[in-house]
Amino acid sequence: MISFFNPVSHIFTGPGAISNIASHLEEKGFHKPLIVTDKIIAQFPFFKKFTASMFSAVIYDKTQANPPDTQINEGAEIYKRERCDCLIGVGGGSPIDCAKAVGVLVSNGGKISDYTISGSIKRPIPYLVAIPTTAGSGSECTSAAIITNTQGHHSKMAIMSPNLTPSASFVDPEIMLGLPPALTASTGLDALSHAIEAYLAKNANEYTDGLAFNAIRLIFKYLPRVVANGGDLKAREKMSYAQSMAGLAFNCAGLGLVHAMSHPLSATYGIAHGSANAILLPWVMEFNAIARYDKLIEIAEAAGENRWNLPKRDAAALAAKSIRTLSSDLGVIPNISEAVSALGKYADFEKDIDSLVNDAMNDVFKNDNPRNVSPADIRSIYASCWSSSTIDLIKKLKNG
């Protein structure tokens, strides 16, 4: 098999990394960035200090989580009106993806839903600097932007092109120190989902396995520590490496059913991306087990599980168990109904399931899954983790 790997050309990682951005842009000959961020990030002292060093920067701070297509048009209008010459995305995956998508419209015109088909982005986007403030999405290392389509029923579009890979990324753990525990947990579990899906994906290769497995190892070790104490700079630094390595890995290996099924949950109910992945991850790992026993055993060992004397199938099952234990230790909601009701909404299985299954079947990341998938499989996985009572029922069935 011919393997493929396309890294970001510059990744600066470590405490204080963002202090090099102004000189980096000057060196490249850029003077007027459009800085795409959100209202929360825009209030942080690091952001104010950082923008103060760039006199002619224009700021777009309206990005919402799971960014809607309408914001992309708005950002592109501002870029053109203000005659900006480059882009900076600062925030979690949402502002970085928003910046990428703004770049697509600036260079290629039209509307963002015109670019869901592979090969449709013909022209490179402007020079893009990505600055992640979560250790989660890995968007600073990927050629994808995930944008919510607000036409008709809401769904998430994956815009993918090598043209979207950031020109340079500055991964600075100091600006992640204030990320609250719940967000640290959910975004960290997004990074773990990337690493595990990339490790198990159909197109995994030796490059991506090296990065994905190291990310898995670091996340099991440092995520609990950083949720317990957000000010632990060493743990934040390890998590920032892990998220970027997971991003580099899945950018080439692909993802799988966790992401294919979590996108409809976020688009339909607004569940945070990492929280939706955390619910689905152990169930999808169990579904995929027959395709990847050996790699699941390696994941279980990285999580510190003892597989001594266990038959292969039972040893592989420890991987999903370790995810459930980690999520529970981190206080993450383990089922869809409770995650939706925490947002003040109601998840109606009978009413919504057909549309969720249909959207998951059409999600591009489904194609990377190591085991072939039918609509009935997806329905059954959603049903299993729908509520605490469905989870209890499955446990009883498994235990005979």
In the chain, where does DSSP find H-type helix?
Answer: 21-28, 39-42, 45-52, 69-81, 93-108, 181-200, 206-228, 233-253, 257-269, 273-288, 293-302, 312-329, 336-341, 349-362, 375-384, 388-398
Per CB under 6 A, 189 contacts ligand NAD: no
Sole residue written with tokens 């029923």: 153
When the beta carbons of 286 and 363 are compared against Fe ion, the nearer one is 363
Position 188 contacts ligand NAD (CB under 6 A): no
What are the distances in angstroms from CA 330 to CA 186, 290, 295, 373? 9, 28, 24, 30
By a kind-dependent CB cut-off of 5 to 8 A, residue 286 interacts, out of ligand NAD, Fe ion, none, with none
Contact between 224 and 329 under an 8 Å Cβ cutoff? The reply is yes
Q: Is-contact 104 148, C-beta < 8 A?
A: no
Tell me which of 190, 237, 352, 363 binds Fe ion, using CB under 5 A. Answer: 190
Stretch of residues binding Fe ion (CB under 5 A), selected from 185-193, 236-244, 291-299, 348-356: 185-193
How far apart CA 391 and CA 385 sit, in angstroms, is: 6
Per CB under 6 A, the list member of 5, 13, 15, 40 interacting with ligand NAD is 40
Helix (H) or strand (E) holding 173, with range, is none
Does residue 277 bind ligand NAD (CB under 6 A)? Answer: no
Tell me if 187 contacts ligand NAD by CB under 6 A.
yes
Return the one option of Fe ion, ligand NAD, none that residue 187 interacts with (CB less than 5 to 8 A, by type).
Answer: ligand NAD
Owner of token pair 């989870």: 391
CA distance 166 to 103: 10
Q: Which range in 19-27, 118-126, 184-192, 368-376 contacts Fe ion by CB under 5 A?
A: 184-192
CB of 141 to ligand NAD, least distance (A): 8
Nearer to Fe ion, 108 or 262 (CB): 262
Residues that bind Fe ion (CB under 5 A): 190
Residues that bind ligand NAD (CB under 6 A): 38, 40-41, 65-66, 91-95, 97, 133-134, 136-139, 142, 144-146, 176, 178-179, 183, 187, 190, 273-274
